[in-house]
Amino acid sequence: MNIKPLTSALGAEITDIDLAVPMAEDDWATLYKAWLDHLVLVFPDQHLNPEQQIAFARRFGPLDDHHEDPTYRLPGYPEIYQIGNFIHNGEMAKTKDTGRKWHSDHSYTTRPTLISMLYCKKIPPVGGSTMFSSTYMAYDTLSEKMKSMLEGLEVVHDFRNFLSPSFFWKPKVKDFSSIKERFPPVVHPLVRTHPETGKKVLYMSEGNMSSIVDLTDDESRCLLDFLFMHAKRPEFTYRHFYKVNDLVFWDNRCVQHYATADYSHDANNPRHMFRLTVLGQRSGRLLEDLRIVEPVQTAAS
Ligand code: SIN
């Protein structure tokens, strides 16, 4: 297997390997180390049927079966979720604008995604790229004073935050309260230690991060705005322009990503990805757990 780094921040292209066939243990160990070292791995020109894609992803851990949103499962393969501007049952898929803000997958839950894996089935002639940023580098490049200030802070991640309009994407949300019921806000530490590399990392998911626990609104806004700007500095990023049959996956514990709206949404030239999600460990807690219990009303004496 040949490993070629794509930037000094993150990303490596792996060639001379066929992911369709079961991998020997030493190749697996090399690939796994490359993933921990480079955070985003790109495998060009892979020819995988759904069973082979699932079998490969499953080596990393249990897979999501997308029971939360079964509409775009690949028929017969609940582990494969289809995203893009392809035609589904006679209409444009509602997954056409998935990921239009910087985020780390499912940070708004207490079981955030470990790995997200995209297998490119169709790509328009221009664009359709994904951007990635290393949040190890975002942490490492902070001043020592800032690092110690951030230590111990906790951030509220709220899916409703993701659904506010962005420059390109205008989600039409009718009922925010049912979203809150399905995805109640959660709290995660801002600075974490990556469980496998032992390195300190910022846990960033800009689109979902709504406030910092115990800071005033103004303090929280200022600090989040700084972190959002800092964590996506060009030096910390890699941008992948897909070719059909590219398989790309990344470590959501130390990477933020952004699905770039850099292509024409022409249904004749769709972007169509098969996405697989390797479930992560449970982490964080519901915001509700932090709420102060109202004092019990006592009868007036
Ligand atoms: C995602 O945000 O999970 C999808 C990224 C992409 O489609 O580029």
Tokens of 109: 């839950």
The closest residue, in CA terms, to atom 4 on ligand 1 is: 99
Q: Which phi-psi region, left, alpha or beta, contains residue 45 (left: φ > 0; alpha: ψ -120 to 50)?
A: left
Q: What is the pLDDT of residue 292?
A: 43
How far away, in angstroms, is 213 Cα from ligand 1 center? 28
Say if residues 128 and 242 touch (Cβ distance below 8 Å): yes
99 C-alpha to ligand 1 centroid (Å)? 5
> Does residue 275 have an active-site annotation?
yes
Per annotation, catalytic residue among 38, 103, 188, 271: 103
Residue 278 pLDDT: 98
Atom of ligand 1 nearest to the CA of 84: 7
∠ CA 238-240-242, rounded to 5° = 175
Token pair, residue 12, equals 């490596």
Report how far ligand 1's centroid is from the alpha carbon of 84 (Å): 9
Q: What is the pLDDT of residue 171?
A: 81
To 5 degrees, how large is the angle CA 93–CA 97–CA 98? 95
- Does 182 qualify as catalytic in the annotation? no
H helices of 63-152, in order, are 135-140, 144-150
| Residues in Cβ contact with 71 at an 8 Å cutoff, skipping those fewer than 6 apart | 88, 94
Q: Between β-strands 40-43 and 12-15, what pairing exists: parallel, antiparallel or unpaired? A: parallel
Residues with beta carbon inside 6 Å of ligand 1?
83, 98-99, 105, 116, 130, 257, 259, 273
Buried b (16+ CB within 10 A) or exposed e, 96-107: bbbbbbbbbbbb
Using the atom order of ligand 1, give the atom closest to the CA of residue 103. 2
- C-alpha to C-alpha distance for 169 and 159, rounded to whole angstroms: 15
Tell which one of 64, 69, 80, 83 to mutate to probe ligand 1, the residue whose CB is within 8 A of the most ligand atoms. 83
How many CB atoms within 10 Å of residue 111? Answer: 14
**Contact assessment for residue 109 and residue 277, using Cβ atoms and an 8 Å cutoff:** no
First vs last C-alpha separation in the chain: 80
pTM of this prediction? 0.94
Q: 230 an active-site residue? A: no
The alpha-helical segments, DSSP class H, found in the chain are 25-38, 50-58, 135-140, 144-150, 159-162, 176-182, 217-231
Q: Which of 42, 98, 101, 105 to mutate to test the pocket of ligand 1 (most atoms within 8 A of CB)?
A: 98
> What pLDDT sits at residue 166?
79
**Which DSSP symbol is given to 235?**
G
Nearest CA to ligand 1 atom 7: 259
Q: How far is the CA of 137 from the centre of ligand 1 (A)?
A: 21
Burial profile 36-45: b = 16 or more Cβ within 10 angstroms, e = fewer = eebbbbbbee
Contact 250, 238 (CB under 8 A): no
Strand partners, 154: 189
How many whole angstroms from 130 Cα to the centroid of ligand 1? 7
* CATH class of the domain at 2-290: alpha beta
Q: Is the torsion defined by CA of 132, 136, 142, 148 positive or negative?
A: positive
| Active-site position among 64, 105, 158, 251 | 105
Q: Which atom of ligand 1 is nearest to the CA of 105?
A: 3
What's the pLDDT tens digit per position in 21-47? 999 999 999 999 999 999 999 999 999
**Mean pLDDT in consecutive groups of 10 residues from the start of the chain, 301 residues:** 98 98 96 98 98 98 94 97 94 93 97 98 97 98 98 96 83 82 94 98 98 96 98 98 98 98 89 97 83 46 37
Tell me the C-alpha distance between 79 and 54, whole Å.
7
CA distances from 39 to 22, 103, 107, 135, 138 (A): 22, 15, 17, 10, 14
